[in-house]
Structure 1
Amino acid sequence: MDDRLFRNAMSKFATGVTVIATETNGNVHGMTANAFMSVSLDPKLVVISIGERANILSKIKDSGIFTVNILADDQKELSMNFAGQLKETKEVSFARLNDMPVIDGAVAQMACEVSATHVEGDHTLFIGRVKDVYLEEKDPLLFFNGKYRSMIAVEEPIS
């Protein structure tokens, strides 16, 4: 199977957009990702998938922590910044949740401790035990078919 065909098929799955962050030696590192999902309610677990060439991979391994920041629909530039899509990288200030770096204004922030790792193919899956959560009432930034999107409410038919 052609790699492009597989990538095109995966782009047909609409996802939210997250910034994964971690901290080592007082320095915060982040990257844009959409490979994130919940795993368990009891205990509260999530999983992120990080490519073997991503700079943040060794940082999460070293720190043993990460945060998941589900971006709001007005945070496209932040996503592009952490994806390396801007001509000039912009400095980002981070807030704290459970003493871990998070992005202000995100729809959801989750502070996680790594509870397990699993290498599969060219990615490492980090299972994180969620230590704290903060929510804001905003619409999420979405990604579909290689483009950023926003939600549009659809009226439910009255029965």
Structure 2
Amino acid sequence: MQQADHEIEDRLFRNVMGSFATGVTVITTEVAEEVHGMTANAFMSISLNPKLVAISIGENAKMLQHIKDAKQFAINILSSDQEIVSKQFSGQLNLKSEMTFESYKGLPVLEGSLAIVTCVLHSEFVAGDHTIFIGHVTGVQLEEKAPLLYSQGKYRELKELEG
């Protein structure tokens, strides 16, 4: 199986994976009274009973150790008007003004998000060059907003199809 990996060019693989439209999240946590955040689209629901979700964090991301230390995290599912927030936490922007956070279930969360999911760390698994963190959900919030989407290297908005 590993030999087949080398036959697939990295850029093509990234482009294929990037063609899958996803929502955009910012993962947040707090360690030693310092808030940390990172834009991510590798997020999914795992189980309804118990309520579990998963996030995938690259081995070179600073957030990896922050989640291991905090043993809890929040997933802020971004709304369509939060593109700047996504860019700030992905390192595409360096805004001079500080982001403001609210607190929910003892975790820093972003105001204006479409949804919030707070978790305590359930388990973690190393898979290739990423760690998959499984979170046991401790709280959820939902607003009536449109989601921010990402596909093929661009931010997108959801549009209803007629028919």
> What's the offset of the Cα at 1:97?
1.2
**Could you tell me the TM-score, scaled by structure 1's length?**
0.96
1:41-70 alpha-carbon deviations (Å, 9 max, x no partner): 000000000000001110000000000000
Match of 2:4 in 1: none
Report whether the alignment pairs 1:101 with 2:140.
no
Q: Is 2:39 the counterpart of 1:35? A: no
Equivalent position to 1:14, from 16, 21, 24: 21
Stretches of 4+ moved more than 2 A in 1?
Answer: 87-90
Higher mean alpha-carbon deviation, 87-96 vs 9-18, is at 87-96
For structure 2, list consecutive stretches of 5 or more residues without a partner in the other structure: 1-7
Give the 3 Å change call, closer, same or farther, for CA 115–93 of structure 1 in structure 2: same
Query: Quick one: distance in 1 between partners of 2:43 and 2:144?
Result: 20
- TM-score normalised by structure 2 residue count: 0.93
- Which residue identity is paired with 2:142? L
Deviation by residue 1:111-148 (Cα, 9 ceiling, x = unmatched): 10000000011000000000000100000000010000
Q: How many residue pairs are counted as aligned between the two chains?
A: 156
Quote how far apart the aligned CAs of 1:86 are: 1.0
Take 1:68 and 1:117, find their aligned partners in 2: how far apart are those partners? 16
Match for 1:76: what amino acid? E
Is the 8 Å Cα contact of residues 70 and 106 (structure 1) preserved in structure 2?
A: yes
**Aligned equivalents of 1:61, 1:4: Cα separation in 2:** 30
Higher mean C-alpha displacement, 79-88 vs 112-121: 79-88
Contact 1:16/1:141, CA 8 A, preserved across alignment: yes
Q: What are the within-5 Å matches in structure 2 for residues 68-147 of structure 1?
A: 68-88=75-95, 90-147=97-154
Counterpart CA distance in 1 for 2:106 and 2:72 is 10
CA drift at 1:88: 3.8
Could you tell me how far apart the structure 1 residues matched to 2:68 and 2:19 are? 31
Query: How far apart in 1 are the matches of 2:108 and 2:94?
Result: 24
Q: CA 1:89–1:120 in structure 2 vs 1: closer, same or farther (change >3 Å)?
A: farther
1:22-61 to structure 2, matched below 5 A, reads 22-61=29-68
Percent identity between matched residues is: 54
Root-mean-square deviation over aligned CA pairs: 0.9
1:55-90, Cα deviation, whole Å (9 max, x unpaired)? 111000000000000000000000000000014464
